[in-house]
């Protein structure tokens, strides 16, 4: 199963429906809800943390947290 931690530079994904309620509530409040998109913007030196655009919220989160967010990777389209 792909997670946010698997995204490559500039790649996007759509958050999957999650049944397990392991995600911190704060993430949900910032827009981490099923169906919303996540885009990876930057990876910090030493590979951690990562900088994402979570349906409009620009956030840095640690990899350990990113691994909890399951998603479906969509290849980014050219039109932007």
Asked if 46 touches another protein (CB under 8 A), the answer is yes
CB atoms within 10 A of CB 24: 12
Asked if 43 touches another protein (CB under 8 A), the answer is yes
* Tokens at 39, concatenated: 């885009």
| 6: Cβ contacts below 8 Å, ≥ 6 apart | 73
Asked if 33 touches another protein (CB under 8 A), the answer is yes
Cα distance between residue 38 and residue 46, in whole Å: 21
DSSP three-state, residue 15: strand
Interface residue with another protein, options 2, 58, 67, 74 (CB under 8 A): 58
Asked if 8 touches another protein (CB under 8 A), the answer is no
Interface residue with another protein, options 27, 38, 40, 69 (CB under 8 A): 27
List contacts with another protein (CB under 8 A). 21, 23-31, 33, 41-49, 51, 56-62, 65
């Amino acid at each position: 199963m792909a997670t946010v931690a698997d995204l490559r530079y500039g790649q996007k994904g759509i958050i999957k429906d999650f049944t397990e309620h392991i995600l911190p509530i704060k993430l949900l409040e910032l827009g981490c809800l099923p169906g919303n998109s996540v885009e990876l913007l930057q990876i910090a030196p030493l590979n951690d943390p990562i900088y994402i655009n979570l349906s409009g919220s620009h956030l840095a989160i640690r990899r350990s947290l990113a691994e909890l967010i399951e998603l479906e990777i969509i290849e980014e389209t050219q039109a932007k």
